[in-house]
Amino acid sequence: MLRFSSLLVVTALLPACTIVTSTETDPGGIDHPYIDPEPAKPSTPTEPQPVEPEVACGATEAVKCGGGKRCASADDCQSGVCTSAGVCLYAPSCNRDHGGSTCGPDGKGEDCCTSLPVRVGSRKVNLDKYNITAGRMRTFIESTKGDVRGYIEKNPPKNWDPRWSAFLPSGFEGNYNVWDQLGPAPLYEQVSQGSRTFGCYLNGGGARTYWVPAEVSEAYGDQAQAYSQEVLDEKPLNCASAVLMAALCASDGGRLPTPAELDAAWGTAKFPWGNAPAPYNPKYSPGGALDYANHGDTFEFPETIGSDVSSHIAPPGHYPKGNGPFGHADLVGNVWNITSAVFQDGPYTPDPLRQWLQWSRGGAWEAGQMVPFENVSIQGEPGFYPRFRAPALRKYWAGGARCVHD
């Protein structure tokens, strides 16, 4: 069941709320959810942004209120959730304490679903400020009772490829169940390209942030997780496939971003925060700064217990000095951002078992890459910094995602 300890709907009458809307007609979306649209020059920090009018919003108005706006009831909010403080949540998956309202520096309580606008050419999108937390996925799993496949089939997202639905859980038992999806084991034995899972077994010094009962871990031949559910829920979700990440984004009214959208949030400098300093990395930048990104395997909370190194993954927003020019956190380090763009090396195939997706260029906590990522050469990939890529169904200890909203 969902927890509503601090996020109850209020009934007292509050002042009318407002929402910012754009006067520009937004085409929205892309032709195919897994192919990057035509590359466009990212916005720059100094670009003038259009002045947009505020209009009344709420249940009795033409539009409902977006995230962060005042509300009197859930009916006022686009997300369907009005907190006990009388503020609309940005998305329903943040309707919980741990991992829902614990993002930002020192876990000071910002909505983990907060989204911020960026422009990609003439398009404006709202890209999530933070990576998806394990707690947000828990809210989604609880709200669907584990039947994510059924939810998507009843509420098909725009441009959703039905071939992906077969790889979503339909409950806690049977093939591709929730524990298969979010536990330590490789999920898709048929995946023909690359490792199906990496770093998700704690016995081998792995990291896995979605808490499961000890008996579930043990049933898959792994040890019980060393940290509490509350601690892990506040960390970014890892060890989950792009298919499951995309389903969560869809349930929150969004989708996985394209590389161009992540690049727009990054800006035009070498790093999101400017051309210097480089983030610390023991191999590539040993003299780099420690307080801009979790890139050199330097974060630790709680104190590491045994071989469970999930402690090295930081809660989203822990490094505000590293935020991008428009406020987005953790574009460098912590976890990679899985994108919706297919890596095209040969004929395109829609088969999820043979599909590779591009990931972001920001590296991760594991300290194995340069930033911006540039230690591979990818055929046909434009730009100075080639991208990391991986099978769409891979579960990876440093693979995460964030959502974008058209």
Reported confidence tier of residue 264, pLDDT bands at 50, 70, 90: very high
List the Cα angle 138/139/145 in 5-degree steps: 85
Identify whether residues 205 and 77 lie together within a single domain.
Answer: no
Domain that holds residue 294: 103-406
Q: At what angle do helices 134-144 and 242-251 cross, to 10 degrees?
A: 70
For residue 192, pLDDT beyond 70: no
Residues 15 and 52 occupy one common structural domain: yes
Which of 254, 331, 352 minimizes the C-alpha distance to 34?
352
- Dihedral over Cα of 112, 105, 110, 42: its sign: negative
Give a yes or no: residue 97 inside a domain: no
Is 33 a member of any domain?
no
Same domain flag for 181 and 233: yes
Render pLDDT for 102-117 as a digit per residue (tens, 0 to 9): 999 977 789 999 999 9
Query: Do 256 and 148 have their domain in common?
Result: yes
Q: Is residue 404 part of a domain?
A: yes
Count CA atoms within 13 Å of residue 401 on its CB side. Answer: 30
Question: Is the same domain home to 68 and 139?
Answer: no
Identify the CATH number of the domain in which residue 218 sits: 3.90.1580.10
Domain stops at, among 63, 89, 115: 89
The pLDDT, as a whole number, for residue 94 is 97
**Residue located via tokens 């019980």:** 224
Residue 384 forms part of a structural domain: yes
125 and 69 inside one domain: no
Query: 112: number of CA atoms within 13 Å, CB side?
Result: 32
Whole-angstrom distance, CA of residue 336 vs CA of residue 360: 6
Same structural domain, 166 and 284: yes
Band the pLDDT of 28: cuts 50, 70, 90: very low
Do 357 and 328 fall into the same domain?
Answer: yes
Report percent pLDDT > 90 for the chain: 61
Q: Is residue 52 part of a domain?
A: yes
**Is the domain of 334 the same as that of 359?**
yes
- The residue that leads in pLDDT, 52 or 368, is 368
Question: Which residue's entry shows tokens 């999101």?
Answer: 272
Is 116 found in the same domain as 6?
A: no
What's the mean pLDDT when you consider all of the chain?
82
Segment 130-155 shows an average pLDDT of 98
- Asked if 62 and 130 sit in the same domain, the reply is no
pTM for the complete prediction?
0.83
Are 75 and 63 in contact, with CB atoms under 8 Å apart? no
Residue 95 lies in a domain: no
The domain tally of the chain equals 2
Residues 6+ apart with CB under 8 A from 326: 43, 45, 116, 117, 118, 265, 267
* Over residues 176-204, mean pLDDT: 79
Task: Determine, yes or no, domain membership for 328.
Answer: yes
Length of the chain: 406
Instruction: pLDDT band for 24, please (50, 70, 90 cuts).
Output: very low
85 shares its domain with 136 = no
110 vs 385, more confident: 110
Residue 94 lies in a domain: no
Q: Which of 47, 66, 89 is the endpoint of a domain?
A: 89
